[in-house]
Amino acid sequence: MKKLLNKMSTFSKIGIALIDSIIIFLSYFILEIFIRNNFLLPNEIVRQTLYNAIIAIIVYEIVFCCFKVYYNIIRYENGKDYLKYFFASAISCTILCCIIEIFNLNLLSVMHNIATALLISMFLITYRVIVRMLLIYEDRENKDNKNNSQEKKLLIIGAGSATRNIIRSIETNLKGSYNIVGLIDDDKRKIGRTISDIKVLGDRNDIVSICKDKAVDIIFFSISKIDNKDRKEILEICQNTGARVRILPSTEDIIKNKNLIENLRDVEIEDILGRDPIKLDNNNIEELISDKVILVTGGGGSIGSELCRQIVKYNPKKLVVFDIYENNLYNIEMELKQNFPNIKVDAIVGSVRDRNKIENLFKTYKPYLVFHAAAHKHVPLMEVSPLEAIKNNVLGTYNVVKACDKYNVKRFVLISTDKAVNPTNIMGATKRMCEMIIQTIDKASKTEFVAVRFGNVLGSNGSVVPLFKKQIANGGPVTVTHKDITRFFMTIPEAAQLVLQAITYAKGGEIFVLDMGEPVKIYDLAESMIRLSGFEPNVDIPIKITGLRPGEKLYEELLMSEEGLQATKHNKIFVAEPLDLTIDELEEKIKVLSDLVKSENHTLQEIKDTMKEVVPTYEEPDKFNKRKIS
C-alpha cells in the first residue's frame, strides 16, 4: 500500500492522464447501467456509448492539458485545484456537445453528456482527495513512528485562519522539524474540535499542564489581533512552561511577508509590557508640519531617525536631517527617499558643537520646526569623558537654541530624558542643563522652546533589551547591575509619536513628561526574556549581578519634587511647571562650562563639582541610592 501511494504521488503525467481516461470511459457506462438498472446493455447502446466515450476522452484530455491539471502534485492539491477539475470538465462537456450537434453524430444526448460530465468531475476529484488524504495520513504515521531528535514538539496558541496556514506551511515545507501536539483557544466552542486534524486541547488556563504532559519544546502565538492586556497575560503564562515562545506580528508585517513561519518572531518586551497603542490627533500634527521645512538634529540616531519616519508622513515641504555620524545619516536618507520619493530630504553631515556650521545650516534652510535629538546619551561613557558630554549636550544645544532665536524658528523641541531628573551622572546633569537653557531662553524669544522628557527607549542603541538578547543567544550569562534596579520603558515609535503630539500643545517653556507606565524591574525583565526563549533562569542561563556602573541610579524619576504636574488633552502627556532662572544667570552658567571645556587639565571630581554648581539638583549616585533605599 505504501509503495502504491508513493507511486501515485509522483506518478508521471501520462500515468495520471491514463487513469483519468479510464474514469471518463467507465463513467459513461456506469451512468447507462444506472439509468437502465441493468448490466446487460443493448448492442446499439453499447456502440453509442463506446464511440461517445472515446470522443469524450480525446476532448477532455485536450482541455485538461490546456488547464495544466497534470502539473499538479496530488499530495499538495487544494480547493482551487479541485475547482479547476470541475470547470475543465464543464468546458469539455460543452465542447463535446457542440461537436455532436455540429456534425450531427448519432451518439448520446446532450443531457446524457451533461450528467456524465458531473459524474466524471465527481470521480476525478474524489479519487484525488482520497489519495491525498492517504498520503498525508501515511506521512503522519511515519512521523509518529520515527524517532527524530531534531523534531520539536509544538503547541500553537490560536485556532483561526493564521493557525490553519501555519499548519499547512509546516506540513508542506517543514516536515520533520515540528510535531504539532495541539492547539489552544479561549473560545470554548472550539475546544475539542480540529483544524487540519490538529485538535484544540484547551484554553489559556491549560497551557502549562498541556506543555508538561506533551513535553512541548516551542509555542507559536498565532493571534495577530488581540487585546494587549490579554497578550501580556497569555505570555506570562507561557513563561512558566519552559518552552520557547515565538509570536505572530501585526497584520501589516504579515502582508509584507506572506510566509507565516518566517513572520514568527521572538517575544519582545513590548509584548510583555502589554500597553495599549497610542492614539494621536493627526490633524493638529499635520497643520504644524505640512508644507514646512523641518530640521531634525541627531536625525541618524534611534529617536531622531524614528522622528524622521513619522514626520515625512505629514508631507513637509522639506526634511533636513543633520547628524555627525555619516553611516546612520546615509541609512536614514536612503530609507526615506525610497519609501517617500515625493518628499524632499536633505542629509547634512555636521556637529552641533560647530557654531559656524549651525549658523550656515539655519541661514540656508530657515527651518520652521526644529527637533533637537543630537546628544551623547550613554551614562558610563560620559562618566569617563565628561567634557565631551558638556561640549555636545550643553554647548551644542546652546548653539542650536541661539540659531533658532536668531532665525525666528516657530518651535524648538528638545528630546530630554528621565535621567535629567535629580541627576546622579554627568549625562543626566547635562540634559538637565539643556532643559534649563530652553526654559530660560523661551522667556525672551519669539521662538517657542519646549522639552519632552521620557525614559529608556526599547531597541535604541545601547538599550538593555538587545544586550539581553545577545547574551541569551550566546548562552549567558545575562548581566544585571543590581537586583533591585528599575527603569521606565517606551518603544521608539511610541516615543516619537508622543513627541509629535506634545508639540501641538506647546506654548513655550514647557517640559512635557510622557506617561511611561509602571517602572520595570530589570532583573524580572531578564528572567522573562530567558524563559520566553525556552530556558530556565539560573539553570540554563545564569543571571550575573555586576554592580551599579558609575553614575547609575537604582530608580529613575520623571518629575522633580519642585515641579508641578498639569494634564494635557492627551492622557499620556503631562506638563511640568518651569523653574525660575534669569537670562543673566543662565549665561553665567554657560560661561562657567565654556571655560571648563577650554582646558583638559581637570580631574573628574573637579568637573563634577563644577556641574553641581551649575545644576543644583545634581548629586553623587551613592547618596541618591542610599536615600531611596532607606
Task: Tell me the CA distances in angstroms from 406 to 195, 295, 410, 476, one per residue in order.
Answer: 68, 15, 11, 53
- d(C-alpha 286, C-alpha 500), whole Å: 10
| Given 292, 377, 391, 419, the catalytic residue | 419
157 φ/ψ angles, rounded to the nearest 5 degrees: -95, 120
Joined together, the cell numbers standing for residue 386 give 565628561
* 547 touches 481 (CB < 8 A): yes
Q: How many alpha carbons fall within 13 Å on the CB side of residue 31?
A: 25
Joined together, the cell numbers standing for residue 504 give 501641538
Give the DSSP letter string of 22-90.
HHHHHHHHHHHHHHHT-S---HHHHHHHHHHHHHHHHHHHHHHHHTTGGGS-GGG--HHHHHHHHHHHH
- d(C-alpha 533, C-alpha 217), whole Å: 10
Task: Verify whether residue 419 is a known catalytic residue.
Answer: yes
Amino acid (1-letter code) at residue 184: I
462 φ/ψ angles, rounded to the nearest 5 degrees: 90, 0
Crossing angle of the two packed helices 43-66 and 13-36, in degrees rounded to 10: 140
Residue 380 exposed, middle or buried by CB count within 10 Å (0-12, 13-18, 19+): middle
Residue 310 exposed, middle or buried by CB count within 10 Å (0-12, 13-18, 19+): middle
Catalytic residues: 419
